[in-house]
Amino acid sequence: MPFAKDVPRVDACSLPSAAQPLRIAEFDALFANALHRLERVDARHLRLTLTGGDGLEETTRDLTARESQCCSFFTFTITPTGDHIVLDIEVPTAQTAVLDGLATLATDAAPTAGR
């Protein structure tokens, strides 16, 4: 059955290929500068604890909002808790490989972050 014209597909990223390396670099910088802890809650759920100075919450909200616009299958939940931010990232079962890639990006960017 074809998809209706007005129903967005949730299984693909609409970010232009030329812009993807820039977006990856933004996530890489966020993780390198702020990732304190990474926890894989389950195959569909990644929890990141971020720490940093002023502007961390706004930066995280801006980046995840822009990512949600092009990759609507992501669900980002940001919870400020005292001196850090908890970023929960969830995906549908069909997108666990994308979440795996994001977890690898975070681990590579901040290899000393607690797990």
Domain annotation for the chain: domains and CATH numbers: 19-107 (3.30.1360)
Helix axes 20-34, 56-70, angle to 10 degrees: 150
Per-residue model confidence (pLDDT) at position 12: 57
Amino acid at 40: R
Please report, as a single letter, which amino acid is at residue 55: G
Radius of gyration of the chain (CA): 14
pLDDT in tens, the chain (115 residues): 232 333 343 455 655 465 565 767 888 999 999 999 999 999 999 999 999 888 999 999 999 998 888 778 889 999 999 889 999 999 999 999 989 988 998 999 887 777 6
How much is the mean pLDDT over the chain?
82
